[in-house]
């Protein structure tokens, strides 16, 4: 009896390997996006702390021009950093989405190959069943012919 072998198994194995790689890439892209958002939150917290500090300076009126210049410079720095960070976030999100789209396509291919493999296996089982039925039919025919031959030999022996 022959053993079942999926005709496209090597391609199927390759696609499954690609899927694992794409899952890892997607996870890395998602981690990067998360880290960038954490940096953005830290910048926003620093901005809010600087805003509160500036309000405190305005209440005290001590060295007002010098303190306000320091706060303004820090605000500019934070805005520039946030602008740059938002660009990085956009790029990272685009990369994440690209990875996700590739993974979806690969999963569709895997589903297609799985269906094809299942269909080939179903045909293999049908073929095995028909071979078994043929063998059983041959055995029954052989027994009938053999039985008739034995009967004929016995009749000739009686004569």
pLDDT tens digits for 12-46?
Answer: 999 999 999 999 999 999 999 999 999 999 999 99
From the list 32, 50, 132, the residue with the least C-alpha distance to 92 is: 32
CATH code of the domain occupying 9-158: 1.10.287
* Cα 84 to Cα 78: distance, rounded to the nearest angstrom: 10
From the list 32, 37, 31, 29, the residue with the least C-alpha distance to 99 is: 29
- What percent of the chain has a predicted confidence (pLDDT) above 90? 65
* Cα 135 to Cα 127: distance, rounded to the nearest angstrom: 12
pLDDT band at 157 (very low <50, low <70, confident <90, very high): low
DSSP state of 3: P
* Cα 82 to Cα 44: distance, rounded to the nearest angstrom: 8
pLDDT per position as a tens digit, 38-50: 999 999 999 999 9
Provide the pLDDT for residue 142. 73
pLDDT per position as a tens digit, 128-145: 999 888 888 888 887 776
Listed range (51-65, 68-82, 107-121) with the worst mean pLDDT? 51-65
Q: Domain map of the chain by residue range?
A: 9-158
**Phi, then psi, of 2 in degrees rounded to 5:** -80, 150
Structure-block tokens of residue 128 = 């095995």
Q: What's the predicted TM-score (pTM) here? A: 0.72
């Amino acid at each position: 009896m022959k053993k079942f072998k999926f005709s496209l198994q090597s391609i199927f194995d390759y696609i499954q390997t690609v899927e694992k790689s794409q899952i890892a890439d997607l996870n890395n892209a998602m981690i990067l996006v998360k880290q960038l958002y954490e940096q953005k939150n830290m910048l926003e917290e620093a901005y809010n702390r600087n805003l509160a500090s500036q309000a405190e300076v305005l209440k005290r009126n001590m060295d007002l021009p010098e303190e306000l210049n320091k706060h303004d410079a820090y605000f500019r720095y934070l805005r520039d950093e946030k602008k740059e960070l938002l660009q990085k976030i956009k790029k990272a999100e685009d990369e994440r989405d690209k990875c996700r789209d590739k993974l979806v396509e690969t999963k569709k291919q895997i589903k297609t190959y799985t269906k094809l493999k299942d269909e080939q296996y179903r045909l293999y089982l049908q073929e095995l069943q028909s071979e078994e039925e043929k063998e059983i039919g041959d055995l029954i025919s052989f027994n009938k012919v053999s039985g008739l031959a034995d009967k004929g030999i016995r009749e000739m022996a009686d004569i």
